[in-house]
Each structure stands twice: as C-alpha cells, then as structure tokens.
A and B are shown apart, each in its own frame.
Chain A
Amino acid sequence: MYSPAVLGQVFINGISLSAIYILVSLGFTLLFGIMRVVNFAHGAMAMLGGYALYYIYGQFQVPYLIAAPLAALTVATGSLVFERLVYRWFYQKMFQSMIGLLGLDMAIVFTAVIIWDPHERSVPAPISAVYKVGPLFLSGNKLVIIAVAAATLAAFYLFTHFTRYGLAMRAAAQDVEIAEVQGVNTDRIYTLSFFIAIFMAALAGGFFAQTYVLSPFMGERPLMMAFIAVILGGMGSIPGVALGGLILGLSESFLGTYFGGTTSVFVTFGAVILLLVFRPWGLLGTPET
C-alpha cells in the first residue's frame, strides 16, 4: 500500500483533483474579493460552460484548443446580461447577494432542465488515452486539465501583477473607496472582474463535464468544492485558492486511498470546521476589521 508506485499514483490523482478545484474556485474568490458577492450561481455558470463545450466541441467538432476557450468566452459574454440585470444590484452587499444569486442559480438550473431535460450526457475528452509511465498511470484528459489549470493560474497571476487593469483590480479588492479616490473606474473593474470570473467558472465547468458528467444539476458539486477550497484558503485570496485547492485535492486523494472514502469526507469536513473555529479568515486570508 505504501510503495513508491502507489504513493506516486496518489500524488498524481491528487494534483489532477486539485487542478479542477483550483479552476472552479478562482472565479468564485475573485467575485467575493472585489465585489463582496457570494456567487451561489457559480455552479450554474460552470454548468452553462459544460453545455457550451458540449455543443462547440462535442457536436460542432470545433478543434479542442479553440473550442474550450470559445465555450468559456461564449458563456462569459452571455452572462454580462446577468451582470447588468442581477449581479450589479448586489455588489458590496454580501448577505443580500447570497439570497439573490441563489434565486438566479435556481432560475438558470431549471431553465436548463426545460431546455435540455435532466438526462446526463458526456462530453468527449480531447485525449481519452491512458498512458503508462513506469508504474504510474496518467489520464490524457487529466493531463490537459492540469496544464490548462496551471496556465490559467499563471496567466491570472501575470494579469493581476503586471497589467494596469490587473493592478486596478487588486487595488479595488483591497479597498474600493481608496481605489476610487485614486482614479480607478470601479464600474469598469467590476465588469471586467465579473467577465474573468465567469470565464474561469465556465472553463472549469467544461472540464468538469468532460471528466465527470454533464447535466443541469452538475454545478452543485463544483460549487461545494469551490466553497471549501475558498474557505480553506481564505475568502477573496487568490493564492489562498491555489493553496486551498491543492490541500483539498491532495488530502482527498491520500485519505481516500489509504483510509477509504468515508474517512476522507469526515477528515476533510472536520478540518474545515476546525479551521473556521480557530482561523475563520482561512489560511491566507485576512481577518475582517
């Protein structure tokens, strides 16, 4: 059980799990960090990303490297309607946003039920082969997801640290009023942040649908994992999301393999409860003043 081969496989499985969790959580924490919006409709946006990829890649057979970002772009662009009609009313209103966006989530999910029916579908993987490297098995699909998650995280880091708009986003995340005083157009920053957040949710939704299953209800799981990763890392903290997602994925893989599924769930949620008791702002978050 504790042979290097098994440990190596545990690590690889953990990294591929972490990649999905990080991708799903990035947009969620971005919306909270900048607009103080708890996006209960995040799972629904991920679900729309899954359907967009299903049509663009699965049905219209657009090459995958174009289809994946195009699907996310389509959802992000379409969701600007929601931004204008719904989200905008809840910026900087954390508690109201929870209820309002829960309603939006229900509306989107059950519209999807009417349009696509609740039947579960599969989105073909770009690489369905499984590679054997020494004693390790590597799923081609998961390698793609790990690569895209890493690239997205890196691109997002570069954007927020080395571009004018990225720096303005970080400034708004730290203190909206001070950022406005310094000349940052917060309306534009909100729209941009929203667009990026939904783009990432939709991208993650596509991967999730590809790895697991596509249905109108598929967003519940990503939403829950995003919550846990974000709480672990600290609400609103981008490095925190990366750390939270990594811990979540690796611990699930290690505990699930060595101690079983039930123990894994018990320990993971137990750790989150302890963290909320002793460090409610998360591992890399900052306490509310």
Chain B
Amino acid sequence: MLDFKRTLLAFGALSLAAGPYVPAAHADEELKIGVIAALSGGGTAWGQGLLRGVEIAAEEVNANGGLTVDGTTYTLKVIPFDDQYNAAQAKTAAERLVHDEKVRFMFGPMGSPGALGAIPVTQPEKVLQFVEGYAPKILDNEWKDDSHVFRVGLSSGEFSDPVVEWVKESMPEVKKVGMIAPNDAVGQQAITALVERYKNQGFEVWTDFYERGAKEFTPILLRMVTENVDLFDLNSNAPGEAALLLKQAREVGYSGKVLQAGGAGVAEIVEAVGPAAEGFLKYDVVDLSDPKMQNFLDMYREKYTGLINGLAPEYYSAAQILFEGIRRADSLDTSKVRDEIEKMEGWETPFLGPVRWTGKEKYGVEHQIVIPFYIMKVVDGKGVVEAKIVPDLD
C-alpha cells in the first residue's frame, strides 16, 4: 500500500518538479527522452546523478538550437520517472513512458532491479535504452538478437576481477573478506559474483544479508567483527545503505579496511559518515578532479546544488553517444540509431574515453561498454584517485 501511494504521488510530484524545457525559438518539434531512475530511497544519489547528467546534455542541445534530424529540428524534453530502485515501479514507469508518453529513447533504470523490470516493456517495442546494472540478463535476454539495450557502465562481471586482483596486490595482509548485502535476488546475485572472484584469488570470505530497507546494521556488523575479517567490502550496496554500514561498522569497533567494489559516488558517503570515512576505498566511474571535467562541473553547479554523483558525467557522456548516433542515422528510427551506435567504436566521449563495445561472447550481444574505472580513497574528507584501472575484456 505504501509503495502504491508513493508511486502515485511520486508521478505527480516529479511531473511538477521536472517542468518543461523552454523550447529554442527555431525548433520545430519536441523529442521526448525518457528517464527512469531511483529518485527516492537509498539509491537516490545514483538516480539523481543519472537524471541530472541527461538533463544537462539535453539542455545543452536545446541551447544550441535543438537536434536536427532529417530536416526537422527537435527540442529535447526529458521526462523522468522514479522507480525507487525497484523492479515493479520500474515496469510501471516503463509502461507509462512507452505507451502513454510514446518515448522511443530512454536512459535508465540504473540498477538491476529496475533494468530487469523495464526491459520486458521496452524491448518488444524496440525502445533504444541506455542502462546501468550488474545482472547479466540485462544484455543476455530473449531480445538479444535484436537488442536495443546498451549497458553504459561496467557491471560486476567486468570490474570484479580487476578490483579483486588490485586488492590482492595492494593489500597483501588481507586474508579474510566480509560482505553484507540485501537479501533479495539482486543483492545475492551481486555478492555471489564477488565471492567467487575473491575465493578464486585465495581469500576466505564471510557473508550475511539484511532486509532491503533496513537502517540498523549493528547486529550483523557485530557478527562480522567476531569473524575477524580484514577487509569489509560494501559491494553494490546503494550509497545510503553503504554509508550506514560504514558508519555503524566503526561504531561496533570494526577497525579494518573498508572497500566498496561497486556503485558510484564517494562524496555522498563521506557526507553521511563524516570523519569515520577516512581511509575508505571506493570503486568509482569517473574522476571528478580531472581538469577535463571542469566545464561540466560548472554547468552542473549552475543548475543544481549539492553533491555531484559520478553517474552525472557518465550519463552526460551516454547522452552524447545517443545524440551522435541520431545525427549519424539522420533518423529517429531506433534500429537505425542502434546500428550507428554499434559502429561508433573509437568515437571520443566527453568523460568515458573512446567508445568501445564488447559482450558478444559473454552476453550474446556487443552492447557492453568498456571504460576505465577508479579506486578512490578518502583522504581529509575527499576522494582522491588511488588507482585507475582499465579492464582487459578482450
């Protein structure tokens, strides 16, 4: 009941909050860009990052007169929906976007629950979709022979091995790893992949699960402390939960190393945890201190306040891939645009390096992006680059 009422009013609230873009004077028509993202709950930081990245990219296009396709100039209109990091809500959102709003291009959901909920709605309709999430089925599914889904972030299948290898090399004193995850399909799937990698590298692994939505983790954390783990891996927990796990781990006396092999966003965790976040290591998708990022950061700060999640520049880049694909196809036919995007190997994205697709062997479709990633370390309350890793996926 709570979910239903939340969804119902979230639609209303978001439609009010989103507001229409002011069309450029010479644009002829409107092109709707759908966004499904977690805009409430523990995944909010990721969802907002995704939405804001796409909004900035769309506004930039509109400010330059719109997107011209086959002689018609389109003003881009971003239509966001909140999936609460939840499959059922994502499915509802996808149905609204595809059937009511007639959206043909979509960003998100981010996270496997939402992605797996939305894909059965979008793919039969050939909606071109850019998603995030670790589940192999996001790409390896019944629509893979004519897939219109691109995964524009690495999944745990791509980054787990390099992260675990990095742990092995840089922390030789670590023998036992502890992991705590939500006890739903997504949590168990994410943790299973990592456990396998750690074990393959000779680590002993301890795991436990919590009910999604829980905020109090001290009993499980105390259990972990008694297991004498050397490294606490926060795996793919959403920023809200990851921050609480880190904070409460220190409160029950855990003094070992803490790493998060998954997700984006160091700043949100530092803000929530405070000084106890010092030394925390975190996988991230971009380096916000990179000078190349400055223009984007300026645009971001002009429009929004608060922390910048790494998914914002990532999805800004993903939006540029879509716009370039549309320009090359000179068509809004999603299959033609998809074909052009597949051919964009080597095209330089703003922040993700040159476009590289992989996945044919692993998922049956060459729609998995290959991008470098970072291990950030919290020093004096800020994330600094500890290592930059380019996964070898060939």
Contacts and interface: CB of A to CB of B under 8 A. Distances in A.
Interface of A: 1, 6, 9-10, 13, 16-17, 102, 106, 109-110, 113-114, 117-122, 124-125, 128, 130, 132, 137, 139, 142, 211-213, 215-217, 220-221, 252-258, 260-262, 264-265
- 10 closest A-B pairs by beta carbon, nearest first, are A256-B219, A137-B253, A118-B40, A261-B210, A212-B215, A110-B9, A139-B251, A122-B272, A257-B219, A13-B218
Nearest to A251: B219
A113 B214 contact: no
A256 B45 CA distance: 28
With a 10 A CB-CB cut-off, give which of B1, B9, B16 has the most chain A CB atoms: B9
A256 B44 contact: no
Contact of A130 (B6, B13, B251, B272): B251
Contacts of A110: 9-10, 12-13
B243 interface: yes
Given A217-B6, A256-B223, 11 more contacts: A17-B218, A106-B9, A114-B16, A119-B48, A120-B268, A122-B271, A213-B240, A252-B216, A253-B218, A257-B222, A264-B219
Contacts of B12: 110
A215 B48 CA distance: 14
A215 B226 CA distance: 33
19 contacts: A9-B222, A13-B218, A13-B252, A17-B218, A102-B5, A113-B40, A114-B13, A117-B48, A120-B240, A120-B268, A122-B243, A128-B275, A130-B250, A213-B240, A213-B272, A220-B2, A220-B213, A260-B220, A262-B210
A255 B208 CA distance: 13
A221 B240 CA distance: 14
B223 A257 contact: yes
B219 A255 contact: yes
A118 B216 CA distance: 20
B208 to A, nearest CB: 5
B16 A13 contact: no
A213 B241 CA distance: 9
Contacts, number: 126
A261 B222 contact: no
Contact of A6 (B215, B222, B276): B222
Interface string B271-282: 110111000000
Contacts of B6: 106, 109, 217
Interface in B241-270: 243-244, 250-253, 268
Nearest to B183: A262
A53 to B, nearest CB: 15
Contacts of B252: 9, 13, 137
Contacts of A215: 40-41, 44
Contacts of A137: 251-253
A139 B45 CA distance: 27
B211 A261 contact: yes
B108 interface: no
A213 B251 contact: no
Interface in B74-91: 82
A216 B6 CA distance: 11
Contacts of B82: 118
B39 to A, nearest CB: 5
Contacts of A213: 215, 240, 243-244, 272
Nearest to A107: B9
Contacts of A220: 2, 213
Contact of A260 (B208, B240, B244, B271): B208
B44 A261 contact: no
B306 interface: yes
A13 B13 contact: no
B13 A260 contact: no
B323 interface: no
B78 to A, nearest CB: 16
Contacts of A257: 219-220, 222-223
A13 B39 contact: no
* Among B5, B222, B244, residue most surrounded by chain A Cβ atoms (within 10 Å): B222
Contacts of A17: 216, 218
A1 B40 CA distance: 37
Contacts of A252: 216, 219
B17 interface: yes
B183 A10 contact: no
B296 interface: no
A102, A113, A265: which has the most chain B beta carbons within 10 Å?
A113
Nearest to B241: A213
B40 A13 contact: no
Contacts of B223: 256-258, 260
Contacts of A128: 274-276
Nearest to A114: B13
B363 interface: no
Contacts of B213: 220-221
B203 interface: no
Contacts of A216: 40
B253 A113 contact: no
B143 interface: no
A109 B219 CA distance: 30
A210 B268 CA distance: 15
Contacts of A16: 218
A216 B271 CA distance: 18
Contact of B219 (A113, A122, A124, A261): A261
A238 B91 CA distance: 44
A1 to B, nearest CB: 5
A217 B43 CA distance: 13
A217 B41 contact: yes
A39 to B, nearest CB: 15
A272 to B, nearest CB: 15
A69 B220 CA distance: 32
A218 to B, nearest CB: 8
